[in-house]
A and B are shown apart, each in its own frame.
Chain A
């Protein structure tokens, strides 16, 4: 058992802000939000490993420019690995990719494992990882205030069709803000219950049912305290005469500069290539190259 048995925040990198003062931090939040959106579209749309590698390079490059320690940034994927592994397994079992063009690696009853299966699973894994890292890059470099302003600005055109841009932005902001709070709260509850003999399986692995049963006593106080926190927040906002977005002025006005447009253009190009890689069958070229190495 390690000292971090209860250290939940340690593994939550998404939603943290790291004030390193890099050029990415100074970028217009709208650009960063748009980049996040584009990344989401591009990564979902592409079906090419090469394309994903490109998007991954973009995100990792972002970490370097933002002066975020790579090990810390990448470790954010750890808590998601079990889910991703399960998804990858489902992908292999439920959607078999066993046409004739692929090499069969392993067969057991009706389950077959082919090279294509492995590629599909890797694609799935990589897609999630790139997205998760991309969004954590966004949160590392952007304060929640900037995020709210950015979202609100970007959504403003949609106000005409009745979308409450301000309220929506605020909602997103609060949701983000609550993630680390909830993690801290959960940690406190786990520790209190562990002090009363609850076993969260420090050293041993618990099975799924056991683990779920341990979570149940955590959920009730966690939900109660979230509700309480939400009510406090409402009171605090109303005490300061908050009545929604109508007629509200802003302390910060966003101005996009040349470097913002340049950054956006650069990101657009890389992500366009990510999507294009799928159509250009870049992977096929790479597979052929690998195959030729193997045969020679």
Chain B
């Protein structure tokens, strides 16, 4: 794999659930997607558009039925590929991962991954310590807490730590902030950003929260009915709010404010992503009018 080839390259992926049975349902109908080193890519789309199915192709949980999936230089269509190593390097965090904790003690749950890869005990301990610290769960204070007694936000972060303990170079997250309170959401996003800035790391996430997307994403894929209908940087995608609303998707707060302003005859640029930018634009406008 040469240095500047993309970490992930999906080409024309098709996937049908229960293929060959009377209950078959097409989830992906020709999706191409690229993730480059250090990038954050968001996949947005209405429920049932195939987002989760797509994510499962990124670490070999699903093999492409048609099309090609190149992940970190390996072709996942080839059954001889060491898929466990791919899964270690591409950490996948499912929706509501806190429901999947199964160990009695928090530390043991985080250790599940490193143990599966046969690391020696002190190495496992070190991995667990680092992973827990990096999501704001101090090791000494939390390792012997009962998982069931942690709060929802803590459990979500513990589940994230369970994946981070594998020291992946990429994180794939399915609706990481869904169901969290505002505080929980902010801190989770903060930990993700810090993690990504520590080294050259990539993130792929799906979400219905467009503020998350506006905040994190370098590039957005809009998935509708198993097809990519639009790709582009956030400013371009959110610069066309009509298109997103038409497909039942939401808008970032900034875009909503911009639209409301435009409705009252205030012309601010349409491609603003954060409320800060909107505030600046409004301020400039106010000065111009004086």
Contact = CB atoms under 8 A, between A and B. Distances in A.
Interface of A: 1-3, 6-7, 9-10, 16, 18, 20, 68-69, 72, 188-189, 191-199, 202-203, 217-218, 220-221, 224-225
Interface residues of B, number: 35
Contact of A196 (B79, B99, B163): B163
A198 B56 contact: no
Nearest to A2: B63
Interface stretch (B18-26, B40-48, B189-197): B18-26
Contacts of A16: 23
B112 interface: yes
B18 A10 contact: yes
Given A1-B79, A196-B163, A10 B116 contact: no
B101 interface: yes
Most chain B CB within 10 A, of A10, A18, A69, is at: A10
Contacts of B243: none
B79 A203 contact: yes
Nearest to B22: A18
Given A3-B64, A188-B94, 7 more contacts: A3-B63, A6-B61, A7-B18, A191-B56, A196-B113, A197-B84, A225-B99
Nearest to A223: B102
Nearest to A228: B99
Most chain A CB within 10 A, of B102, B112, B113, is at: B102
Contact of B97 (A68, A192, A197, A217): A192
Interface in B71-99: 79, 83-84, 87-88, 91-94, 97, 99
29 contacts: A1-B63, A1-B83, A2-B63, A3-B65, A6-B61, A7-B17, A7-B18, A10-B21, A16-B23, A18-B23, A69-B21, A69-B22, A72-B22, A191-B61, A192-B92, A192-B97, A193-B112, A195-B92, A196-B87, A196-B112, A197-B84, A197-B88, A197-B112, A197-B117, A197-B166, A199-B84, A199-B116, A217-B103, A225-B99
Contacts of B103: 217
Interface in B6-33: 17-18, 20-23
Interface of B: 17-18, 20-23, 56, 59, 61-65, 79, 83-84, 87-88, 91-94, 97, 99-103, 112-113, 116-117, 162-163, 166
A197 B116 contact: yes
B114 to A, nearest CB: 8
A1 B80 CA distance: 9
Contacts of B116: 196-199
B113 to A, nearest CB: 4
Contacts of A194: 61, 87
A202 B84 CA distance: 11
A36 B91 CA distance: 48
Contacts of A69: 21-22
Nearest to B61: A191
Contacts of B22: 18, 20, 68-69, 72
A102 to B, nearest CB: 42
Contact of A195 (B21, B59, B65, B117): B59
Contacts of A217: 102-103, 112
